[in-house]
Structure 1
Amino acid sequence: MNTVTSLIHGRALLRSLLVVALVTAGPAFSAEQSAPGQSVAEPPSALDAAGQLQRLVIKPRFGFGWLRVAGGVQFQTGGITKSVLFYGPGIARVSAHKGQSHTRQSSLVVVASPQAPALDIAESADALIVAGAGLRAVVDKRTGTIAFQRPDGTPLVREQEAPVLTPGTEPSGTQTYVVEQRFALTPDESLYGLGQYNEPYMDYRGREVLMVQTNIGIVVPFMVSTRRYGLLWDTYSKMRFSDGPQGAAFRAENAPAGVDYYVVAGDTMDEVIAGYRYLTGAAPMFPKYAFGLFMSKERYATQQRLLEVVRRFRRESFPLDVIVQDWQYWAGQKDGQWDGNWSGMVWDPERYPDPAGMTRTLHDDLHTRLMVSIWPSIGNDTALAGELDAKGLRFEPLHWISKRARIYDAFSEEGRAIHFKHAKKGLFDIGVDALWMDGTEVEVGGAAHDPAEVEADIKRLGRNAMGDFGRYLNVYSLLTTRGVYEGQRASADLGDKRVFTLTRSAWAGQQRYAAMPWSGDTTASWDALRAQIAGGLNVSMAGLPYWTQDVGGFFVNAPGGERDPAYRELFARWNQFGIFNPIYRIHGTSIEREPWAFKALEPAVYRSIHRAAELRYRLLPYTYSLAWASTHDGYTMMRGLAMDFPDQPALRRVDDTYMFGPAFLVQPITRPMFHAELPPPPTVPATQLRTPDAQPGLELEYYRGMEFEQLASRTVDLQAEHHWPGPPLDSVPPGLDGLQNFSARWQGRIIAAEDGEHEIGVEGDDGFRVWLDDKLVVEDWKESGARFAGGRVELRKGQAVRVRIDYFQKGGGRSMRLAWRTPSERIALAEHQRRLDPRQATLLPAGTDWYDFWTGQRHAGGASAARRYAIDEFPLFVRAGSIVPLGPVVQYADEKPDAPYEIRIYPGADGRFTLYDDDGESYRYEKGEYATVALAWDDAQHTLRIGAREGSFPGMTEQRELNVRLMPSGPGDRVQTKTVRFHGEPVELSFTQ
């Protein structure tokens, strides 16, 4: 059945579970659980048959002894103490240590409490069987390993061997464990979740994953299986997951409580993820505006420019809900000067003279919300730093981007409170609607993409308010977003305004703080787009309902940026993916990326971007209802195919296609169809370079300053290819003080290798100019990421062309490469262009029919559907039996709250959908102030039943026109339309067959 309202069996039971406190009765075996979320050294309580507390003495067999404890059982074998505690139907916790847990810290992740369920415990000579609702654990007395099964005995997952627990010591001298736990998996299961690792695959079978947060990596230690179970690891250090011939294994380098994991079982993968949300907290509703378009770039440098951009959106009738102010808006900050005012949450009065007035204009005149970037690194000269330092709540190592900024201690409750106080004063109190919390992995050094370097940087922070950073390597984001959420909810004037936070990292449980990750600073390419799809799906299947990314890629290396036709095609396709993300967001650097920038360059691309954005806004009733299902039922909006079709092996490794809610099958196009993506041009070989006096190489001059202010040194460069510092110069160039704010000039000749037209230019970061035979052919004199730009010249083999390159480096990436495309390479690229295919084939899941959203053509499932796609269309199919509510095209989410809805029905199966609405911005829904309407399609009777409206809220639209459209089910059929004025009473509409 195609339904959102009935997806997860037993959710009501999960929500109504009673919290049962555990009582300690004195030492028996050393255990880890004595209070909700705590890992401690005291044991759980032993119970007799009547449920009374008592101490049990069991004669061990095979060195095995066990006792009944509140919530489960505890046993000991091979010198290891283990416990199995039940947290609810289908949910159990396993913990294991060598007689001592080296922490009394409450869990940062799990907020549920262990229960005292009715357990059936049976014992044989070889096994102890503990059965609770929805799950049973079978303990092998010889090894102490645990096998989990369904109540009918169907295997789920089992420990392959006893845990490996190696005692360790942290730098502070605190004891800990290095742990490994292996599992035996069935050959036919696939594994998903765990977060995002910038890879193009989803299924982790046969893979190895290093679980360390990075700029472009999101770690969420929850994994789900197609056998409908999940594993949640409650350990915060560096971890590694691997799967191979010897089984699957989780390893952690610092696990103070030993092995500590949760098994979650269900009849569907939705039930499994709902169990994860029960354990770690429900995701609150985002404000309705969050489901429109976020326009962002690095960055809007003035208040005037930010307002100009929003006004242009309105003039262009291009929908927009949120404008984003990225970094460097703070007081004292001047372009190009890093100082001690970093992220002080105080606006520069010269560039932003009236931020409160700016937000009023955005809200009242332009109907747009404002999101503002903040960082965990705090400049030394800020009032925020002064207050933190008075309490010792900043770490000593300097942040890479400023020699006068340090990371604040988000592990301290007081530190979080101070941090939020300044965010409120400088941002929320002047009307800012949402925060963008950048660098929360937490970024310290500049090599933010390299897990090993990020790990080393974080560990250099030393100790935080909870302990060593080795123990708490991956969870900074969870703590700092907690501070914002709790601060807003507790605020007298902000507490009823929904929290929405964007953050560059995530951890299990972060969804309860209304914090959503994005995938970091990607570099634009078709391969990167492809990896974003798989990564976003694995974040969603790790239990986080919301995820987003930078439409168009953050860095753009295309020659000419937005002026490059190949990049424009990539941007249009990336944007089509973006509208089917939970949150739709355009962001990046290097190019102009406001949509109208494409309007004059290529009208067809602009129409594609505009059409996609309008579809996103038409889908708001559908998307907002899915958001409610995510909050209320633990639903997942962006769904790998295995979630809905887990028993179709052919779909297990389809990594570029997914479901968006119950209706839409989405396959973003991830390859060029019209403009070939050009590979990087080869570096001009050293054999083809000559100095002005005919010696090998080019003459090279280094200058202090970015405009050749002072000659620093002169040398001969044998091959003009540099990544500073690196070969051929592994240190600062002679005469320079450092690797920022310098310029360089290369002069000499290039010897042609072939007859014909050559393209000669530079791939560089930052600015460069190129002259060929004294003619300026490239003018790209701006701070920007690495990209190639060149000029064309007709040459004969052996002919020399004079070349001059001017280059400046400001900061960040440092590279310059003299490159070319010879005539033969250009011919090969032209042939590649001719082979591009505008057709795309989509594998449609079996068991249902599918409708092409654009053409209405119906296709049988289990086969491929292929056709040509123009730049403004892509493979988008609707499952038979779907009910899709659509609103009008609007310019912002709440522009027309009482507008008619179109209700599309795609026949071929029964279907259900629940429409949801509330005030869109407050937490009154938590008190029951919301309304739902159940829609049910009976395919055999060709009848739509619109249920009575359930509930209400202040400002609710009392009546709405519903235009119900039954889509054609076959050739020759026509759309059938019926219009009803819905007043909240049940309605039944019948259609002809």
Structure 2
Amino acid sequence: MVIKRLTLLALFFAGAFHSLCNGQSQNAPFKQDESGITVTLKNAPNGVNMIRLKPINAKIIRVTATPTNFFVEKPSLMAVTPNNSAIKHTVNYTDDKMIVLTDSVKVTVSTITGLVEFYDSKGNLLVKQSKFAHEPAFVNAMYDGESSYRVSQYFDSQADEAYYGLGQHQQGVVNYKGRHVDLIQNNTEVAVPFVVSSKNYGILWDNNAITTAGDIRPLEPLHALKLYNKNNEAGWLTVSYSLKQDPTRTVYEQAVSDIDLNWLSDVKRFPDSVKMADAIVTYEGAIEGDQTGLYQLQIKYGGYIKLWVDGKQLLDYWRQSWNPATALVDLNLQAGKSYHLKMQWIPSGSESYLGVNVLLPAPENVKNTFAFTSEAGSTIDYYLVYGQNADSIISGYRTITGKAVMLPKWAMGLWQSRERYKTQDEILAVVKEFRDRKIPLDNIVLDWSYWKQDQWGSQEFDPARFADPDGMIKQLHGQHINFMISVWPKFYEGTDAYNAFNKNNFLYKRNIANRQRDWIAKGYISTFYDAFNPDARKAFWELISKKLYTKGIDAWWLDATEPDILSNASVADRKLLMTPTYLGSSTKYFNAFPLQNAKGVYEGQRAVNPNNRVFILTRSAFGGLQRYGAATWSGDIASRWEDMKSQIGAGINFSLSGMPYWTMDIGGFAVEPRYENAKRQDLDEWRESMTRWYQFGAFVPLFRVHGQFPFREIYNVAPKGHPAYQSMLYYDKLRYRLMPYIYSLAGKIYHQDYTIMRGLIMDFAADKNVEGINDQYMFGPSLLINPVYKYEAHNRDVYLPKGNGWYDLYSGKYFKGGNTLKADAPYNRIPVFVKAGSIIPFGPEIQYTNEKPADPITLYVYTGANATFTLYEDEGSNYNYEKGDFSQIAITYNEGSHTLTIGDRNGKFNGMIGDRTFRIVTITSNAAKALNFDQKPNKTISYNGKNVSIKL
């Protein structure tokens, strides 16, 4: 086979393309211009006619495919990389293949099949498009009169490959190998179509529609399995209804083949003879399949749910009825064998939800694939990101979608919130209590309904409850407390704001036409604004700026940004409620609402106040959100122990999706009724749950307490002498002591595309044992966090990754890596281990982040390996860091020479302290030292910005 070579050198020179060859060969099977390298396929298989490759840099290749003879060119909402950027690359071609090489990757495209393959520069396979396709790449569709396609692409998966990211999901799964992952914005579920592979690559799927990733075969209804009733008759399950006041007596019984009370519109199918709020519902019978393998049940539930298979209990969960959750149950079944199934459901209220679907065992041609499919799109459009590790892959994601801008330093401190502070006096009283008790605090949060009852969307305080909001905020600022406020994209019909937005066609109208009322008092008719409309975004910012920002608001809580126009509406109904959007079909743009909503607030505030950092908290996210000064919390989760555990995996994969700022409601948002006025054992369990959650929450990127009654302030959880109070106060103070460590990592997020909450795969990729661990993670480079999520547990299994030694944070005791140990977890502590070869800077005790400079700093040096840490500082509240106003001090420890070096300070900023003190505490494997800030240091160094080295 004759190989022909066309060498093309594109330089970053005024965005122009320069060819250093004598011109493109007339026989070349491709065309190259500033948009990329385009191949027209010979036989247009699988619905693809043309494929275009565009090197973004040496490690990132954009791939687009079209079924037509042209590409639809529409600006991406996710990607901000300019398309005219050029990069050095070489194109080789044969009669049936085109090869594009950069310094880091090689991409081949078959000119016959269109299959794309990716390799690193050494020829190692990264990933290749699969020959198998469950459906064509393009399937014609039309939405709201707009022609479109359902688009799909399959990739071969290597046998030992693991997958991470894909946003935030709450089923406790970390590795998505072999999983069906629906990417659809929903309260507690966040859709981000970016996956990180353990094989040193990531894929950003640039599509705004509802998407499925992984094993994209559709979930089947329960009757895909052979069903038997409780009398062993084939064809259905038996469902029995009893009443809570008399659970032993069956009042109604029926046959069911499906369990599908999934949406608001389905609730009416509940039997008329039984009131849902009074019912206990029991499903019983057996299930059977004709294939041996893994059957994955997805169970959507609101209320109490218990599941037994062959007598073994697999679920015992609860979720508030108005925000159902989804549990994943893995069943390894043998072909032709029936398994007894019993499920008990106790609805919570008159509108509860239950649905059961199943993903059948994967056929051989699916098992080793990973795919994306989206409901709508003009083209297939994705980016292959190569990296030596997860950090460099995430850096590539941010190259495409934008830098993660810095949040204000105070955001790293404690936030206190509840649903909800009802008056100005309540807010001021809570802050006073924190300050009087010397409980460190930086932020107080005002949740929804601070307006008059019928004025949602007015963005105006109810003067009966907030007589002087300007004065309140000024008083809070005087106590060094920042103020965050909840702002929904929601408007009640008839308000002045509604009328102004309606006049300019800025609103979604369907909910108004439906006369659908919300849940407030008698119910009010409302809708959301169209965040895809740039003029509507501008108007929304101008409204909240005029009504709120001018009062001194410090941060924005953008709630219900899925958008949740009508809770628990079906997906089809949700699309109707946001039709049409300014950009086009709601089906085509469904997942991108939270990104556009945050964009308007971020750009609006930076335009009117270019100094103060924008800070946004949003309930949903999409690719690129990190560039808008936004963090995401995990939604309206419940307060059960299983919900606490599910947050660990949710935070790990959200962070592996490229967005570094994640948080949760410490304590869970909604509580079981038994906790509302808890007594005796229920009160004990509530306090222990809050304590364990608080211990966990102190080690996530943002430290935030929120939830419904009972109140979540430390002193409202337990009295001062109680172990719960003492433990929560300890971890609050420890968080503030760790501020030099945490804020340095925040600086690293911006300057080096770092990630704070780190799945173990990020730092220990060579250790295959960590790939599926869903209840441990690293907090920065040094701290291994192991939350306790079981009631009355006083120890837990902890895996210490191999290749490292580990120290117990509290005692300094040394442990070898590569082992699972049963770590002590007394009521007042969770197991935290420090990686050998770590330097952790601790600051002085403070009550708020900017109380005083971090001086002296105590450096805890954990020996056993070489260590580095870079202390980062800047002004903390403005964007001067973008102009170079920051300082960095590199601190290193050499294990061979036992030498600690504090390097020259690089950079400067206003307010920087010139001279400072470092106290050095050395911990070795044979000389444990407890975490005690009053102990005498091994050494004390007076530092004036110049390099200094000492022997330890």
Letter in 2 for 1:421: E
Match runs of 1:786-801 below 5 Å: none
1:304 aligns to what? 425
Mapped contact 1:239–1:250 kept (Cα < 8 A): no
The match for 1:179 among 151, 167, 171 is: 151
The match for 1:549 among 664, 674, 699 is: 664
Task: Establish whether residue 865 from structure 1 lines up as the match of residue 821 from structure 2.
Answer: yes
User: CA–CA distance in 2 between the matches of 1:941 and 1:558?
Assistant: 60
CA-CA distance at 1:947 after TM superposition: 0.8
CA-CA distance at 1:839 after TM superposition: 2.3
Distance 1:943 1:360, change over 3 A: same
Mapped contact 2:457–2:498 kept (Cα < 8 A): no
Mapped contact 1:226–1:647 kept (Cα < 8 A): no
1:489 aligns to what? 606
The match for 1:899 among 851, 855, 879 is: 855
Mapped contact 2:39–2:111 kept (Cα < 8 A): no
Match runs of 1:425-574 below 5 Å: 425-447=546-568, 453-454=570-571, 456-491=573-608, 494-557=609-672, 559-561=674-676, 563=679, 564-574=683-693
2:921 aligns to what? 965
**1:780-814 deviation line (CA, Å, top 9, x unaligned):** xxxxxxxxxxxxxxxxxxxxxxxxxxxxxxxxxxx
The match for 2:708 among 568, 589, 592 is: 589
2:538 aligns to what? 417
SS of aligned partner of 2:509: strand
**1:353-394 deviation line (CA, Å, top 9, x unaligned):** 111100110001x11000000101112343322221121101
CA-CA distance at 1:19 after TM superposition: 7.6
1:189 aligns to what? 161
User: CA–CA distance in 2 between the matches of 1:652 and 1:74?
Assistant: 38
| TM-score using structure 1 length | 0.75
CA-CA distance at 1:427 after TM superposition: 1.2
Match runs of 1:444-843 below 5 Å: 444-447=565-568, 453-454=570-571, 456-491=573-608, 494-557=609-672, 559-561=674-676, 563=679, 564-600=683-719, 603-672=722-791, 674=792, 838-843=794-799
User: CA–CA distance in 1 between the matches of 2:555 and 2:59?
Assistant: 37
Distance 1:281 1:19, change over 3 A: farther
Distance 1:573 1:973, change over 3 A: closer
User: CA–CA distance in 1 between the matches of 2:559 and 2:11?
Assistant: 37
Match runs of 1:152-551 below 5 Å: 152-161=122-131, 164-243=136-215, 244=362, 245=364, 246=366, 247-330=368-451, 332-333=452-453, 339=454, 341-364=455-478, 366-398=479-511, 400-401=518-519, 402-447=523-568, 453-454=570-571, 456-491=573-608, 494-551=609-666
User: CA–CA distance in 1 between the matches of 2:828 and 2:812?
Assistant: 16
Distance 1:486 1:606, change over 3 A: same
1:795 aligns to what? none
1:93 aligns to what? 62
Match runs of 1:57-206 below 5 Å: 57-58=26-27, 65-70=29-34, 72-77=36-41, 78-79=43-44, 80-99=49-68, 103-114=72-83, 115-161=85-131, 164-206=136-178
Distance 1:598 1:18, change over 3 A: same
SS of aligned partner of 1:105: coil
Letter in 2 for 1:484: V
User: CA–CA distance in 2 between the matches of 1:930 and 1:866?
Assistant: 43
SS of aligned partner of 1:593: coil
Moved more, 161-170 or 516-525: 161-170
CA-CA distance at 1:898 after TM superposition: 4.9
Letter in 1 for 2:143: P
Distance 1:225 1:251, change over 3 A: closer
Mapped contact 1:88–1:133 kept (Cα < 8 A): no
CA-CA distance at 1:400 after TM superposition: 3.5
How large is the RMSD of aligned CA atoms in angstroms?
2.1
Aligned residues: 769
Letter in 1 for 2:21: A
SS of aligned partner of 1:471: helix
1:693 aligns to what? none
User: CA–CA distance in 2 between the matches of 1:940 and 1:880?
Assistant: 14
Letter in 2 for 1:152: K
Distance 1:600 1:503, change over 3 A: same
User: CA–CA distance in 2 between the matches of 1:253 and 1:127?
Assistant: 28
CA-CA distance at 1:103 after TM superposition: 4.4
Mapped contact 1:233–1:260 kept (Cα < 8 A): yes
Distance 1:232 1:987, change over 3 A: same
Distance 1:973 1:195, change over 3 A: closer
Distance 1:443 1:901, change over 3 A: same
SS of aligned partner of 1:357: helix
CA-CA distance at 1:983 after TM superposition: 1.5
User: CA–CA distance in 2 between the matches of 1:103 and 1:461?
Assistant: 24
SS of aligned partner of 2:586: coil
Task: Establish whether residue 849 from structure 1 lines up as the match of residue 805 from structure 2.
Answer: yes
User: CA–CA distance in 2 between the matches of 1:459 and 1:579?
Assistant: 41
Letter in 2 for 1:941: S
User: CA–CA distance in 2 between the matches of 1:933 and 1:885?
Assistant: 12
The match for 1:979 among 935, 940, 946 is: 940
Letter in 1 for 2:629: A
User: CA–CA distance in 2 between the matches of 1:498 and 1:18?
Assistant: 31
**1:129-179 deviation line (CA, Å, top 9, x unaligned):** 210121110223331101100011000010003872334343332111111
Letter in 2 for 1:74: T
Moved more, 221-230 or 950-959: 950-959
Identical columns (%): 35
**1:259-306 deviation line (CA, Å, top 9, x unaligned):** 110000011111110010011000111100000011011000000111
Distance 1:959 1:22, change over 3 A: same
Mapped contact 1:144–1:162 kept (Cα < 8 A): no
User: CA–CA distance in 2 between the matches of 1:455 and 1:947?
Assistant: 59
**1:63-115 deviation line (CA, Å, top 9, x unaligned):** xx323333642112232100111001210011111125684421111111243
CA-CA distance at 1:990 after TM superposition: 1.1
Distance 1:174 1:162, change over 3 A: farther
Distance 1:235 1:898, change over 3 A: closer
| TM-score using structure 2 length | 0.78
Distance 1:898 1:852, change over 3 A: closer
Distance 1:876 1:972, change over 3 A: closer
Letter in 2 for 1:986: N
1:791 aligns to what? none
User: CA–CA distance in 1 between the matches of 2:71 and 2:518?
Assistant: 34
- Name the larger-Rg structure: 1
**1:690-744 deviation line (CA, Å, top 9, x unaligned):** xxxxxxxxxxxxxxxxxxxxxxxxxxxxxxxxxxxxxxxxxxxxxxxxxxxxxxx
User: CA–CA distance in 2 between the matches of 1:560 and 1:454?
Assistant: 33
Distance 1:668 1:866, change over 3 A: same
User: CA–CA distance in 2 between the matches of 1:875 and 1:625?
Assistant: 23
CA-CA distance at 1:602 after TM superposition: 7.3
User: CA–CA distance in 1 between the matches of 2:508 and 2:923?
Assistant: 61
Mapped contact 1:854–1:873 kept (Cα < 8 A): no
Task: Establish whether residue 50 from structure 1 lines up as the match of residue 21 from structure 2.
Answer: yes
Unaligned runs of 5+ residues in structure 2 are 1-9, 216-361, 512-516, 931-935
Unaligned runs of 5+ residues in structure 1 are 1-15, 24-46, 60-64, 334-338, 675-836
Letter in 1 for 2:80: V
Distance 1:48 1:892, change over 3 A: closer
